[in-house]
Amino acid sequence: MPATIAQKRAEFSRLHHAGCFVIPNPWDVGSAVYLQSLGFKALASSSAGFAWSQGREDNTVTRDQVLAHLRAIVAAVDIPVNADFEGGFAHDPAGVAVNVTLAVETGVAGLSIEDYTGDNANPLYEIKVAVERIRAARSAIDATAANVVLTARSESMLFGKTELPPIIRRLQLFAEAGADCLFAPGLRSLEDIRAVVSAVSPKPLNIMGAYPELSVQNLANLGVRRISTGGALARSAWNGFMKTATELAEKGTLTSLANVIPSPQINKLFAKP
């Protein structure tokens, strides 16, 4: 029988309590169904992957588009789904709370909130504001009485702010504000990852395992609890599509199709019993 929303949420919470698990990022229903078929225990949406599927730049889709996307992914799979909910689609804490409530209503088992302002010239919220936004998200989730995991993200490294102590301090303050899981995209040095795992413990740390040098086993050995892929899988798909389409446009040939998966194999994946 299909898992209920409550069962998905309970399982997602349990996954964070011990060990290490991979939470790959689909960009549409088809990719979500395929990832589930591979045996992954949970999935996470990708703001970048979804935006590209809509012909948009990352961070330019609307809140309502994302909410509809989340409902579709949640309905398509029987495993928990974590929402890449960007910055909560509001600057002020009250607005974040309203939108987090709407995200919970989609059936997601978890969601993340960034400290990115949307302004590349001044990319991070002042720490007091960033903490209040996480506290508002926590209160909104608690008010729904839903067992939804809150992940707080610091985007510092993605904008060249690579000094580790301020990043750790942000994550620690986010934890104190009610975050269940912490995430600093861009962390890829094993030494830095080890330091952050230690600093935020016992809270679980999510690492974006989208770099060739980071294996699941290496990260698990460092104490990382959760590994996501961000837009990496979507980029991989785009890479194959762009390579083949470019060959057709420039050379008039399709030699790169020689090794692609045949249509019957894909149809079999999506065939209804």
Q: Tell me, what's the pLDDT at 47? A: 97
Q: Tell me, what's the pLDDT at 273? A: 79
Looking at the domain assignment, is residue 261 inside a domain?
Answer: no
Looking at the domain assignment, is residue 220 inside a domain?
Answer: yes
Q: Tell me, what's the pLDDT at 210? A: 82
Is residue 84 classed exposed, middle or buried when 0-12, 13-18 and 19+ CB atoms within 10 A define those classes?
buried
Looking at the domain assignment, is residue 248 inside a domain?
Answer: no
- Total structural domains in the chain? 1
DSSP code per residue over 59-90: T-S-HHHHHHHHHHHHHH-SS-EEEE-TTTT-
What type of residue sits at position 12? F
Looking at the domain assignment, is residue 52 inside a domain?
Answer: yes
Q: Tell me, what's the pLDDT at 1? A: 58
How far, in Å, CA of 33 to CA of 47, rounded? Answer: 18
Looking at the domain assignment, is residue 1 inside a domain?
Answer: no
Q: For residue 135, give its domain range.
A: 8-231
How far, in Å, CA of 173 to CA of 200, rounded? Answer: 10
Looking at the domain assignment, is residue 259 inside a domain?
Answer: no
Which residue numbers in the chain have pLDDT < 50?
none
CB 222 within 8 A of CB 193: yes
Looking at the domain assignment, is residue 30 inside a domain?
Answer: yes
Q: Tell me, what's the pLDDT at 272? A: 84
Looking at the domain assignment, is residue 115 inside a domain?
Answer: yes
- The domain spanning residue 153 has which CATH number? 3.20.20.60
